[in-house]
């Protein structure tokens, strides 16, 4: 069996050119300066995938507010993608406004999106890629489990706050069980800073301090 490999968190997003429902793209160069939610789905005209595409589209404005573009992919011809998009519009009254890559397997293999036991289809993979084209998060789902779009939005917003303000994001943020929507201060790395932490921030201890969510 051919080994499945994929880029890792912190790697530069692999480059490729591809045909999409919006025309040819040169990735990631065409998306420079943008966050990208790059995701694959097993196939067009399948029930779970259809619900996912509607869910992504319903939140497209929220992704746009976070300077993020959506980019889908499956191993289907562009004609199939176009017909599926038409079907979604005609039957569900939803316009899919983001591009879908028509892959022949090359891009899927490059990103480790090919199902190891089904070489003709892609898994439900999500790559969160930052404006510097660095992969920041990778999420995989099995065929029977649809994605949670609100979690992807949460990850995206959390990264942007963490990057801008040098903080960390707690579990279940912004509804964390301990500190609600507050953010975590990075742990002190020397004795002096540790001693000052409780005076400067609200803390459970010097290594677990938090502050209000930055505006």
pLDDT digits (tens, 9 = 90+) for 84-117: 999 999 999 999 999 999 999 999 999 999 877 7
> What is the second-level CATH architecture of the domain 166-211?
2-Layer Sandwich (3.30)
CB environment 19-53: b (16+ within 10 A), e (fewer): bbbeeebebbeebeebbbbbbbbbbbeeebbbebb
Name the segment(s) of the chain with CATH classification 3.30.1020.10.
166-211
Residue 206, pLDDT above cutoff 60: yes
Name the segment(s) of the chain with CATH classification 3.40.30.10.
16-146
- Please tell me the predicted confidence (pLDDT) of residue 134: 98
How does pLDDT run across 114-146, given as a tens digit for each residue?
Answer: 877 766 789 999 999 999 999 999 999 988 999
- Please tell me the predicted confidence (pLDDT) of residue 109: 92
Out of 36, 49, 73, 114, pick the active-site residue.
Answer: 49
pTM of the model: 0.94
- Please tell me the predicted confidence (pLDDT) of residue 47: 97
> Cα-Cα-Cα-Cα dihedral of 190, 192, 197, 199, to 10°?
180
- Please tell me the predicted confidence (pLDDT) of residue 184: 98
Q: What average pLDDT does range 166-195 have in this prediction?
A: 96
Q: What average pLDDT does range 156-166 have in this prediction?
A: 98
Per the annotation, the verdict on 49 as an active-site residue is: yes
> What is the second-level CATH architecture of the domain 16-146?
3-Layer(aba) Sandwich (3.40)
């Amino acid at each position: 069996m051919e080994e499945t490999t994929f880029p890792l968190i912190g790697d530069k997003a692999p480059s490729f050119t591809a045909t999409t429902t919006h025309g040819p793209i040169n990735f990631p160069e065409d998306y420079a300066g943008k966050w990208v939610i790059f995701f694959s789905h097993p196939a067009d005209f399948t029930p779970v995938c259809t619900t996912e595409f509607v869910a992504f589209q319903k939140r497209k404005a929220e992704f746009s507010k976070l300077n993020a573009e959506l980019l889908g992919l499956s191993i289907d011809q562009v004609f199939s993608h176009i017909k599926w998009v038409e079907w979604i519009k005609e039957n569900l009254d939803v316009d899919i406004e983001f591009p879908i890559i028509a892959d022949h397997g090359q891009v899927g293999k490059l990103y480790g999106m090919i199902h190891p036991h089904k070489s003709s289809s892609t898994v439900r993979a999500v790559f969160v890629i930052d404006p510097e084209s660095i992969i920041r998060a990778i999420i995989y789902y099995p065929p029977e489990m649809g994605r949670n779009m609100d979690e992807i939005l949460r990850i995206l917003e959390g990264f942007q706050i963490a990057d801008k303000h040098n903080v960390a994001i707690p579990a279940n943020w912004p509804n964390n069980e301990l500190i609600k929507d507050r953010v975590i201060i990075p742990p002190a790395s020397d004795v002096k800073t540790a001693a000052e932490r409780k005076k400067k921030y609200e803390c459970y201890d010097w290594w677990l301090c938090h502050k209000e969510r930055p505006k």
